[in-house]
Structure 1
């Protein structure tokens, strides 16, 4: 980052120590605290002069006239991109993340990963996953009433989804079985997005060798399922956000309100699909969470073909422990990708 080139080595070290101290304490950092750091070894007056220069550059700000300094969103971005020393996961953290791959629980792998991510980071976790475009293991049609049928979809990642669709009133039970068998033969291990056009083409050209009612059920079912919003949001660990409430209850209230805007959250996270690896969104850099002063750390996870099928991440205050959370998010995405192979 070009701003780093305008800062000498001493100022850079003072800035790095200030940000690390703030992230650890959540409090403004004064010059006296930094001058007592043996690795800086300069007077409090020198530290004050450096902090004044960094404030003029827009990297620090003072919440009160007599208080110490806090990093701005720009300052945090400079720290994360150019100065942060990313820590290694401990063996215990690695085992905790990997245990989800072996856990025999009623939760889906995605829900288990979200719960573990929230627990390890003590923050709220977010996972965005594709619905109809995820690989399917099985699909079944069940009549629920006049003109309605339930589509039960079991995905390769262990999720089970039920969708109610329109169905012909005079549909016999044999047609429901035939429709399920037809789609299972074409969808197992593949996504509806991959096969939708070929299935509809086969139905329209009468190559499916299905009777008229069964063909109509398959055509309408595929169209209804694929036409829905293709993403869903899993949120775990909201309670961790409430731990911050004693310090800033209004910020937490706004953040919880933001998390209820699922479509907006999904749009933000799916934007992280572009590119590789972990992405960090800090405070005002994202429209959705700018007012609540929150940061989001995300990473994509992939299927057996290395195709990105979802995004997972952590959300919390801008004073997140980025150096610790980034490798946790990255490794959780890696383990989840292995599970989906």
Structure 2
């Protein structure tokens, strides 16, 4: 099973556990058709339409009786008087947990995902591949693709100090994976003309693929050796360069692509308001990061539906997310999709899972 589901839904309607467990085949099939119609059209479905599409012969009156039981159980509701029925958040959670059939990603889609992400990684950096993953998931789901990643320090390939003016220099760090990072440092007064090159040579001789954290620790342990090789001002320059360029090891980066997709399928004024609220949610990056971080707490795909999380309680949105890992099998980020509660869960869940595995593979090869 691909899914590792999170906490139970907190429905507005109190569920009837015995009724949920006792759903017979007819009730389950009617409920399935209501959910699948909602995922496809976003519209309520009535007993007459259900009578035409059900694989069993039932009269509209018999279907209405079953729908009344499903409504009493908290699985469906009528958005308007005399309208058809839609699944509640409880109903969607029940469907996802107990009834959804998940297939595998077909070979053509696997090949496309792998090819596009590998091309992005080879042309640019691993971060480019993460942005491509977000765009891919956005296109697949017609929702917003999201990626949360922990900044992983790659091994260094080259360090150079470049003087900008008498008081400042640029520290250029080139990582093994091709990432280039630039930082400004203040130059000590009276620094000799050749000190920048001397500091660059000193660090490059000790890189050997080390990360900044490791390099800084090695230099601190070999402080006596550095004092023998460098004068006091150049030593200060090396310390300043390393101190400035080392950021928090757990810095978080959020990538969101495809918000415009959420505007493509508006059906009513309330849909526009829901999307406006969702855009507000996505702009609150801290809350989105905290929600995505919860998907890092277990294996497999996690699904958050509507008010199960306070972030989406107003917009009525869902998120499907899966963690990815580095070569040591440590979870270092999450990929996912955010969109309306009528996301096509059975299609998107395996896509998110497979994309996370491709990202893990790229990360393993790039680090």
Please indicate, yes or no, whether the TM-score normalized by the shorter chain is above 0.5: yes
**In structure 2, what is the Cα distance between the partners aligned to 1:45 and 1:15?**
16
Aligned residues, how many?
338
Question: Is 2:141–2:343's contact at 8 Å kept on the other side of the alignment?
Answer: no
- Alignment partner, residue 120 of structure 1: 140
Q: Does residue 1:253 correspond to 2:276, yes or no?
A: yes
1:146-161 alignment, distance < 5 Å: 148-154=168-174, 159-161=179-181
Contact 1:93 1:120 in 2 (8 A): no
Radius of gyration: which is bigger? 2
Give me the CA root mean square deviation.
3.1
Q: Is the 8 A contact 1:109 1:157 kept in 2?
A: no
- How far apart, CA to CA, are the structure 1 residues paired with 2:177 and 2:92? 36
Q: Write the distance in 1 (CA, Å) between the matches of 2:210 and 2:291.
A: 26
Residue 285 of structure 1 corresponds to 308
Counting only pairs closer than 5 Å after superposition, residues 172-321 of structure 1 correspond to structure 2 as 176=196, 195=214, 198-199=217-218, 201-202=220-221, 206=224, 211=230, 212-213=232-233, 215-217=235-237, 219-224=239-244, 225-227=246-248, 230-245=251-266, 247=268, 248-321=271-344
Deviation at 1:253, TM superposition (A): 1.5
Unaligned runs of 5+ residues in structure 1 are none
The 1:112/1:146 distance shift into structure 2, 3 A limit, reads: farther
Q: How far off is 1:213 after superposition?
A: 4.4
Q: What's 2:4 paired with?
A: none
**What SS does the aligned partner of 1:67 have?**
coil
SS at match of 1:28: coil
Change (3 A) 1:35 1:165: farther
Moved more, 323-332 or 300-309: 300-309
Q: Does 1:135 align with 2:158?
A: no
The CA distance in 2 between the partners of 1:41 and 1:63, in whole Å, is 26
Residues of 1 paired with 2:256 and 2:235: CA distance?
Answer: 38
Deviating more after overlay: 166-175 vs 292-301: 166-175
TM-score, with length taken from structure 1: 0.85
CA–CA separation in structure 1 for the residues paired with 2:205 and 2:56: 67
Distance apart, 1:185 and its partner CA:
7.0
Give unmatched runs, 5+ long, in structure 2.
1-7, 9-16
Q: Is the 8 A contact 1:244 1:252 kept in 2?
A: no
Change (3 A) 1:318 1:198: same
TM-score, structure 2 length as denominator?
Answer: 0.79
Cross-structure match for 1:98: 114
